[in-house]
């Protein structure tokens, strides 16, 4: 088992205790390939060490499968290693239990995972875990291989990319590629084998020429070398260029690492002086970083033998951030405490923020408003959203504070209308229960049940409120319609005169209409009378005939009618 990296960590660090504990816990356990289980934990820990995530995260990485696979619990870890490490391990254990939906909305799933990992270190340790699982994928049964590879390509590699962890993202994609697209992978390998070797050889010839020219111009590059484009990244690019290799200029690119930003632009000038630039191919990702924080200058030139070559120019610090992404932040945080390493990082502090912070801000902007980055490294993404699951593992994205009723209406208005109860994570809860990310919500319905007006006092979303009001109004309309009107009420305003009532009743008698009730009221000045009279339900024609006759009675001022129950 590879433990060399552990020796680089000071003896008194908690990492060593975590190692000893995990080693004992996993003592009798083996991986599929026959290796001791601990070898996996060590690899995950090593990645976190290389990404400089800090001792708590490295310890959590070593312990990440203890609660999952052994007799020890999160509580044991809490007692022995404290709250922070226990919290990280618990997050990882929860994530392990999460079942990916069969037909997920990929974007929602990524958001879910981010919101689920309240602390981004949980996600990054998970990525390290995934990286090692992908490296040892060949030992798993075919079904699990496909599943793992698919998840890696659809979910984890894009998440790593968004965190600016470019190298990791590319590595994950390349590990998944042969499983997800086996035919295409074989084809690409065959097609590019010679090309890669040949272009790499060509780049090697260019390195001393450019190095010499830079030095002649007073630029002492930190490093000049070539990098080969990753297979999956190449494949993706080929899809955009009709699978035409001749259109791919960066299969092998030259990379110049400088000390300062000024030197980046100076080096660019040197390159352009030496070789003619290809038109419209210059990209300044320093002035305008990519959405994920990537910074570099890219140019394509007609190089020696008039061949086309892409050149990438960046500072050492940009290079580090491009490769490590968000993990570079923790590295930076730690460097702040260590005066020794401070010199290497000078210049960083002068900047208001690292590129990845603005990258996260950009990312986050798409979903919510302002992001105030938390000092304690807690993720603040989607702070006004919760992501909950249906029993079928579909992810539902709701406003924070949402209740089971909001959830029910989101599933379907019928589910909302007929909701009589809810279970969260298998336990019955009240309907005003506040849902949390990761909750599995089950709605209990009863056919024909109607929503309660009281729900309006606690539901959170506007659309839920609208649904409830609609259902309540529809209910009232239904009730009226069902009962229907039972009488016609005539209202007559007339000059108060003797014999008027007799004239009215004789009109009803002549048209063979029974009077159910009759009342008469005279106003205070004894001048006008209001007569209210009810008959059974009558056809509209008959009502109109009666109204005409009533208006003709001497003294009538006004006649109206309405249907009543
Ligand atoms: Mn694991």
As to burial, measured by CB atoms within 10 angstroms (0-12 exposed, 13-18 middle, 19+ buried), residue 463 is middle
Cα–ligand 1 centroid distance for 181 (angstroms): 25
3-class secondary structure, 562 = strand
Q: How many CA atoms lie within 13 A of 171 on its CB side?
A: 16
Alpha-carbon distance 127 to 121, whole Å? 10
Per-residue pLDDT tens for 117-162?
A: 667 788 889 999 999 999 999 988 999 999 899 999 988 998 888 7
Using the structure block, give the residue that is written with the tokens 């209740």. 403
With a CB cutoff of 8 Å and minimum separation 6, the contacts of 26 are 36, 37, 38, 41, 65, 66, 69, 70
Strand-pair category, 427-429 with 419-424: antiparallel
Alpha-carbon distance 484 to 67, whole Å? 65
Cα–ligand 1 centroid distance for 134 (angstroms): 11
Cα–ligand 1 centroid distance for 74 (angstroms): 15
Cα–ligand 1 centroid distance for 1 (angstroms): 16
3-class secondary structure, 535 = strand
Cα–ligand 1 centroid distance for 294 (angstroms): 29
Alpha-carbon distance 457 to 446, whole Å? 22
What is residue 101's predicted lDDT score, i.e. its pLDDT? 72
Cα–ligand 1 centroid distance for 103 (angstroms): 24
Alpha-carbon distance 140 to 32, whole Å? 7
- Helices and strands: H and E segment counts in the chain: 24, 15
Percent share of the chain, pLDDT over 90:
46
Alpha-carbon distance 159 to 164, whole Å? 9
Cα–ligand 1 centroid distance for 56 (angstroms): 17
Cα–ligand 1 centroid distance for 511 (angstroms): 91
CB 49 within 8 A of CB 60: no
Q: Which residues of the chain have pLDDT under 50?
A: 334-381
CB 503 within 8 A of CB 490: no
Phi-psi region of 242 (alpha: psi -120 to 50; beta: other; left: phi over 0): left
Cα–ligand 1 centroid distance for 40 (angstroms): 7
Cα–ligand 1 centroid distance for 393 (angstroms): 22
What is residue 116's predicted lDDT score, i.e. its pLDDT? 67
What is residue 355's predicted lDDT score, i.e. its pLDDT? 41
Q: Taking the CB of residue 432, how many other CB atoms lie within 10 A of it?
A: 15
Phi, psi of 302 (to 5 degrees): -85, 105
End-to-end C-alpha distance for the chain, whole angstroms: 87
Please name the helix (run of DSSP H) or strand (run of DSSP E) that holds residue 499, with its range, or none: none
Strand-pair category, 441-445 with 276-277: unpaired
Cα–ligand 1 centroid distance for 254 (angstroms): 37
CB 231 within 8 A of CB 189: yes
Cα–ligand 1 centroid distance for 146 (angstroms): 18
Cα–ligand 1 centroid distance for 501 (angstroms): 95
CB 441 within 8 A of CB 390: yes
Phi, psi of 203 (to 5 degrees): -60, -35
CB 449 within 8 A of CB 420: yes
Compute and round to an integer the Cα radius of gyration of the chain: 38
Query: Which pair of tokens denotes residue 391?
Result: 């029993």
Please name the helix (run of DSSP H) or strand (run of DSSP E) that holds residue 515, with its range, or none: strand 515-522
Cα–ligand 1 centroid distance for 230 (angstroms): 26
Cα–ligand 1 centroid distance for 64 (angstroms): 6
Cα–ligand 1 centroid distance for 22 (angstroms): 12
Domains of the chain: 4-139 (1.10.3210.10), 183-324 (3.30.460.10), 385-481 (3.10.20.30), 484-564 (3.30.70.260)
Alpha-carbon distance 419 to 44, whole Å? 45
Using the structure block, give the residue that is written with the tokens 């909001």. 406
Cα–ligand 1 centroid distance for 23 (angstroms): 14
As to burial, measured by CB atoms within 10 angstroms (0-12 exposed, 13-18 middle, 19+ buried), residue 78 is middle
What is residue 32's predicted lDDT score, i.e. its pLDDT? 85
3-class secondary structure, 294 = coil
What is residue 492's predicted lDDT score, i.e. its pLDDT? 92
CB 173 within 8 A of CB 233: yes
From the list 177, 193, 241, 209, the residue with the least C-alpha distance to 311 is: 209
Q: Taking the CB of residue 523, how many other CB atoms lie within 10 A of it?
A: 11
Cα–ligand 1 centroid distance for 94 (angstroms): 12
Q: Where are the beta strands (DSSP E) in 23-63?
A: none
Cα–ligand 1 centroid distance for 268 (angstroms): 44
Q: Where are the beta strands (DSSP E) in 174-258?
A: 223-228, 252-258
């Amino acid at each position: 088992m590879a433990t060399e990296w552990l020796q680089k960590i000071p003896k008194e660090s908690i990492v060593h205790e975590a190692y000893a504990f995990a080693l004992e816990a996993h003592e009798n356990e083996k991986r599929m390939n026959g290796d001791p289980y601990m070898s996996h934990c060590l690899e995950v820990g090593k990645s976190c060490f290389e990404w400089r995530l800090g001792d708590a995260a490295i310890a959590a990485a070593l312990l990440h499968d203890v609660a999952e696979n052994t007799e020890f619990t999160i509580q044991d870890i809490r007692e022995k290693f404290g709250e922070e490490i226990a919290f990280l391990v618990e997050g990882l254990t929860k994530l392990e239990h999460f079942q990916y939906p069969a037909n997920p909305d990929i974007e929602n799933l990524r958001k879910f995972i981010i919101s689920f990992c309240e602390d981004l270190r949980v996600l990054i340790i998970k990525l390290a875990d995934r990286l090692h699982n992908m490296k040892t994928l060949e030992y798993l049964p075919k079904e699990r291989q496909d599943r793992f590879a698919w998840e890696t390509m659809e979910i984890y590699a894009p998440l790593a990319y968004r965190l600016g962890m470019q190298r990791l993202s590319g590595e994950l994609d390349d590990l998944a590629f042969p499983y997800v697209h086996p035919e295409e992978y074989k084809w690409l390998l065959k097609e590019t084998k010679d090309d890669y070797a040949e272009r790499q050889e060509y780049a090697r010839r260019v390195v001393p020429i450019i190095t010499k020219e830079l030095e002649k111009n007073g630029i002492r590059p930190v490093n000049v070398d070539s990098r080969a484009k990753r297979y999956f990244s190449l494949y993706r690019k080929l899809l955009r260029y009709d699978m035409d290799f001749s259109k791919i200029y960066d299969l092998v690119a030259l990379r110049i690492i400088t000390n300062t930003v000024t030197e980046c632009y100076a080096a660019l000038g040197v390159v352009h002086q030496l070789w003619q630039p290809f038109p419209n191919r210059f990209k300044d990702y320093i002035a305008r970083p990519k959405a994920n924080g990537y910074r570099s200058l890219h140019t394509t030139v007609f190089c020696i033998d008039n061949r086309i070559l892409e050149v990438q120019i960046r500072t050492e610090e940009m290079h580090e951030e491009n490769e490590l992404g968000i993990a570079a932040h923790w590295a930076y945080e730690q460097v702040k405490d260590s005066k020794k390493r401070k010199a290497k990082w000078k210049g960083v502090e002068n900047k208001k923020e690292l590129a990845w912070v603005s990258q996260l801000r950009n990312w986050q902007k798409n979903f919510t408003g302002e992001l105030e980055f938390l000092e304690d490294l807690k993720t603040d993404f989607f702070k006004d959203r919760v992501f909950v699951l249906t029993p079928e593992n579909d992810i539902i994205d709701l406003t924070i504070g949402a209740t089971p009723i909001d959830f029910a209406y989101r599933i379907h208005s019928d589910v909302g209308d007929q909701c009589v109860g809810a279970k969260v994570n298998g336990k019955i809860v009240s309907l005003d229960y506040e849902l949390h990310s990761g909750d599995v919500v089950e709605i209990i319905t009863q056919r024909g049940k109607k929503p309660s007006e009281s729900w309006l006092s606690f539901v959170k979303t506007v659309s839920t409120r609208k649904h409830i009001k609609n259902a309540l109004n529809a209910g009232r309309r239904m009730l009226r319609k069902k009962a229907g009107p039972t009488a016609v009420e005539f209202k007559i305003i007339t000059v108060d005169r003797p014999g008027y009532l007799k004239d009215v009743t004789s009109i009803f008698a002549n048209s063979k209409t029974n009077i159910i009730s009759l009342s008469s009221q005279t106003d205070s000045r004894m001048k006008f009378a209001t007569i209210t009279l009810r008959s059974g339900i009558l056809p509209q024609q008959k009502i109109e005939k009666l109204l005409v006759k009533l208006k003709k009675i001497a003294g009538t001022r006004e006649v109206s009618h309405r249907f009543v129950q």
